Amino acid sequence: MKIRSLACAAISVGSVTAAGAAGIDTTDPGLAAAFQSGLTVQTFESLAGRTPQAITAYTQGVAVSPTSFVFNQVPGVQFSVGGAVGTNMPALYQLGGAIAANAHSGTTVLGPVDFDFTTKFGPGAFIEVFFPTKVSSVGFWLNPALGNVTLIAADTNFAFSGLTETTLETFAGTPGRFAGISRPTADIGGFKIIGTGTTGFTIDDFSYGAAGGVTPIPEPAEWALLLGGIGAMATWRRRRVS
Say if residue 94's pLDDT is above 60.
yes
109-146: burial string, b at 16+ Cβ within 10 Å, e else: bbbbbbeebebbbbeebbbbbbbeeebbbbbbbbbebb
Q: Could you tell me whether strands 53-55 and 91-95 are parallel, antiparallel, or unpaired per DSSP bridges?
A: parallel
Say if residue 55's pLDDT is above 70.
yes
pLDDT: which is higher, 23 or 19: 23
* Domains along the sequence of the chain with CATH: 1-18+218-233 (no CATH), 21-216 (2.60.120)
Mean pLDDT of the chain, nearest integer? 82
Confidence class for position 212, pLDDT limits 50, 70, 90: low
Strands (E), the chain: 22-26, 40-42, 53-55, 78-80, 91-95, 108-111, 126-135, 137-142, 149-154, 167-173, 178-182, 188-195, 203-209
In this prediction, residue 222 carries a pLDDT of 36
Read off the pLDDT of residues 182-205 as tens digits, 9 standing for 90 and up.
999 999 999 999 999 999 999 999
199-234: burial string, b at 16+ Cβ within 10 Å, e else: bbbbbbbbbbbbebbbebebeeebeebbeebeeebe
What would the mean pLDDT of 169-179 be, rounded to a whole number?
96
Residues 6+ apart with CB under 8 A from 224: none
Is pTM beyond 0.85? Reply is: no
In this prediction, residue 160 carries a pLDDT of 65
Residues 6+ apart with CB under 8 A from 238: none
- From CA 230, how far away is CA 8, in angstroms rounded? 10
- From CA 159, how far away is CA 169, in angstroms rounded? 18
Indicate left, alpha or beta for 14 from its phi (over 0: left) and psi (-120 to 50: alpha): alpha
Say if residue 234's pLDDT is above 60.
no
Amino acid at 1: M
In this prediction, residue 230 carries a pLDDT of 40
Say if residue 181's pLDDT is above 50.
yes
What would the mean pLDDT of 78-90 be, rounded to a whole number?
91
Confidence class for position 229, pLDDT limits 50, 70, 90: very low
In this prediction, residue 6 carries a pLDDT of 28
pLDDT-above-90 percentage for the chain: 70
